[in-house]
Chains A and B, each alone.
Chain A
């Protein structure tokens, strides 16, 4: 067993291209491209109607940040469909067309690569990637800046396994229910007194870790009144699952009367 190769019949190295007399088969390419186009259209149609098929697929998108996330999720999915379909349709077509029941000792054509195709593939995925990065950076710049308007600051403190919310502009009123005025920019300053937590309001699409000894910040602009939930999104020990608080987005008037009532209780020395 000194020499295991087919010897002279084969070149020592893989070479690109169908250089060994492989007949091209354009009709397969034409067919599979048509199937791909149809599958892509159907796939995109499915994506655009997914929220109808699966009610409650996303939480109520109740902030301007959430609306951006909602759009991006759908947009990326639509972009992903043709790429995924390219792989699936080509693979499925190959399997359906060239499947053999059992091994017959026959080989396929000796195509070991196509420099043009490989270059095209890499360049187009690089372009797609570049687009995603530029898009992402633009969106990131957008959500990192304070939304316009008079900022309301809320200090969020995580401690195993409860959040509390302090309104520094209201004499330090502190509560375990978070109330926010609608259509007003909010700055959350988040910290933890013990271990890592993560402050997440799914309906507002904001999340920032609560790190002991540090203050992290995140902006939100609630746009829709309603009752939502704040959850802890970083495993923080025994009752991580129960580290949830009620969030109420109120009208401007509703918020003033709520915070007024809280101030009176707070002033009496009770919680």
Chain B
């Protein structure tokens, strides 16, 4: 092989590598778009509170759970799966580090019996309680739970545990439907403390989805019954 030929070949090979890199980047961009990552809801910091463990930022989050996908982030048409149960307004959450977070969840959905009654217990909240329509409680019987809000896991050792899990009691079937198409919700409030920053995920542990075990469909799809929780600064 002569020198100019060889040079041309090397150039051609290099060009192919560049084209390949562009294809990888292009396809990953396309897949991100297809994945439709939900927007992030940031908890509003509202001042500082003194606690036994030192000063903590106060922050609050308000979420809702619906028997369908018509009222949350998927738009009034409900997106690809209007019939799927969903959390709203979104499922990617952000809360400040070293904060006392107050969460309010309005549940508009009826109950589905838990697979594991363990998740009917309130865990990891301040005082070990949640307030259901203003009444403090430590647990809900498995048959009355509609969904749960369960934060867990740590991809990295050393990241503080945040084993928060609260059951959301279902709306009784007899509740009349209001003007918005939903019955009056069960309002659940609870507080938890965050430590240093870290990445968590949260999910529902009630088999409210589709297919085997009730964990298919919305239960296995971010943007419906599950999402991420980032504890951060700023």
- Chains A and B directly touch (beta carbon < 8 Å): yes
Flag if B215 contacts A237 (CB, 8 Å).
Answer: yes
Flag if A271 contacts B215 (CB, 8 Å).
Answer: no
Flag if B212 contacts A162 (CB, 8 Å).
Answer: no
Please, which residues of chain B bring their CB within 8 A of the CB of A177? Answer: 161, 163
Q: Which of B49-57, B150-158, B174-182 contacts A (4 or more CB under 8 A)?
A: B150-158
Q: Which residue of B lies closest to A194 (CB)?
A: B213
Given known A159-B205, A270-B121, A270-B128, contact A238–B157 (CB-CB < 8 A): no
Given known A176-B163, A229-B157, contact A270–B123 (CB-CB < 8 A): yes
A246 to B161, CA, bound (A): 8
Please, which residues of chain B bring their CB within 8 A of the CB of A130? Answer: none
Residues of A in contact, count (CB < 8 Å): 29
Given known A194-B213, A242-B155, A269-B121, contact A159–B138 (CB-CB < 8 A): no
- Answer whether residue B118 sits at the interface, using C-beta atoms and an 8 A cutoff: yes
Q: Which residue of A lies closest to B201 (CB)?
A: A242
Given known A229-B157, A239-B226, contact A174–B128 (CB-CB < 8 A): no
Given known A242-B201, A271-B118, contact A162–B215 (CB-CB < 8 A): no
Please, which residues of chain A bring their CB within 8 A of the CB of B115? Answer: 159, 193-194
A159 to B154, CA, bound (A): 17
Q: Which residue of A lies closest to B125 (CB)?
A: A270
Please, which residues of chain B bring their CB within 8 A of the CB of A229? Answer: 157
Q: Which residue of B lies closest to A174 (CB)?
A: B118
- Answer whether residue B129 sits at the interface, using C-beta atoms and an 8 A cutoff: yes
- Answer whether residue B122 sits at the interface, using C-beta atoms and an 8 A cutoff: yes
A102 to B181, CA, bound (A): 83
> Among residues 129 to 185 in chain A, which have CB atoms less than 8 Å away from a CB atom of chain B?
157, 159-162, 164, 174, 176-177
- Answer whether residue A227 sits at the interface, using C-beta atoms and an 8 A cutoff: yes
Given known A160-B215, A162-B205, A239-B203, contact A268–B116 (CB-CB < 8 A): no
Q: How far is the CB of B100 from chain A (nearest CB, A)?
A: 19
Flag if B138 contacts A268 (CB, 8 Å).
Answer: yes
> Among residues 240 to 271 in chain A, which have CB atoms less than 8 Å away from a CB atom of chain B?
241-246, 265, 268-271
Q: How far is the CB of B73 from chain A (nearest CB, A)?
A: 18
Which residues of B pack against A, CB within 8 Å? Answer: 115-116, 118, 121-124, 128-129, 138-139, 150, 152-155, 157, 161, 163, 165, 201, 203, 205, 212-213, 215, 219-222, 226
* Complex A-B: 28 CB contacts under 8 Å: A157-B116, A157-B118, A160-B219, A161-B153, A161-B203, A162-B150, A162-B153, A162-B205, A164-B116, A174-B118, A177-B161, A193-B115, A194-B212, A195-B215, A237-B220, A239-B153, A239-B203, A244-B154, A244-B155, A246-B161, A268-B128, A269-B138, A270-B138, A271-B118, A271-B121, A271-B122, A271-B124, A271-B128
